[in-house]
Amino acid sequence: MEINGKTKVLGVMGCPIEHSISPVIHNNLAAELKDNLVYAPFKVDEGKVQDAVKGAFALGIQGLNVTVPHKSAVIPFLCDIDPLAKRIGAVNTLVYTNEGYKGYNTDMPGLLRAMKHDGAEVAGKDVIILGAGGVARAVAFLLADSKVNHIYVLNRTIEKAKAIEEEIKAYAGDIISAHELSEYSSLYGDGYVVIQATNVGMHPDVDRAVLEDEEFYKKVSFGYDLVYNPAETKFMKLCKASGAEAYNGLRMLLYQGVIAYELYTGKSVDDELSEKIYHKMAEAMGIK
């Protein structure tokens, strides 16, 4: 595309940032939709977030994605924040307004859209979250808004799982319970949707899963690993070996970007174009 005086600038800020796949998503969307915009990565060191937000606003940058380690640190410097992002306590998308940037979290809606694409319906289901870090906490809030039957948080240390349990109970009532990983055998029945929300199994440590007991996987009907590299994690392999469906987190990455683009431009991105961008992402990452 031709960059000219009317070209809008967007980008992603984080540290490190060189590995970001977001430019692939947004620049390809812009090309397909014939939008006069360009999207670039910006390395922002810790402690420089306020300067970065003020500078971006002064320059008229129309939107920014925010990645680690700034998703919470950026919040005090926004003029407004979407209710979901406020509950989660993490922002990954900034949209320009006349008063400043409004913050959104598109990670969790991206996860929900990805799961629906892959056929995982969580409404009315019992859902297990593996892990109790920041991502697991955000997933728990998403599920609390998604009419699930019950949420089980399984973590190596019960204290972190209990902290999520307390927050969700205060928000949504008695729809969640915390357990140590070793207590999975106390969960009765099968048909659980399981979301793997840790970085265990991520490249290059690809030969591990948070839980490796085959008995656990007999309880699983659908497994969703938020890790997307490798394309098939050990968690996914164990799910499939027990007869469950399993998917990685690449579509979550796709849809969080698609939703952010829709917020930036006011346009809708249809399923056909989303699929085209998905394949461009996989190609750029060397994932088959």
Same domain (yes/no): 117, 226: yes
Rounded to the nearest 10 degrees, what angle do helices 22-33 and 250-265 cross at? Answer: 50
The pTM of this model reads 0.91
- Give yes or no: 116 in active site: no
Q: What is the pLDDT along the chain (288 residues), one digit of tens a residue?
A: 789 999 999 999 999 999 899 999 999 999 999 999 999 999 999 999 999 999 999 999 999 999 999 999 999 999 999 999 999 999 999 999 999 999 999 999 999 999 999 999 899 999 999 999 989 999 999 999 999 999 999 999 999 999 999 999 999 999 999 999 999 999 999 999 999 999 999 988 899 999 999 999 999 999 999 998 899 999 999 999 999 999 999 999 999 999 999 999 999 999 999 999 999 999 998 876
Same domain (yes/no): 199, 277: no
CB-CB contact of 164 with 154 (8 Å): no
**pLDDT at site 203:** 84
3-state secondary structure 243-287: CCEEECCHHHHHHHHHHHHHHHHCCCCCHHHHHHHHHHHHHHHCC
**pLDDT at site 277:** 98
Token pair in block for residue 48: 């420089």
In a domain, residue 1? The reply is no
**pLDDT at site 175:** 98
Same domain (yes/no): 85, 23: yes
Domain of residue 189, residue span:
109-248
- Give the whole-angstrom CA distance, residue 4 versus residue 1: 9
Given the residues 6, 43, 71, 102, the one annotated as active site: 71
Distance from chain centroid for Cα 11: 18
Q: Residue 190 sits in a domain of what CATH number? A: 3.40.50.720
222 pairs with which residues across the strands?
193, 245
The domain tally of the chain equals: 2
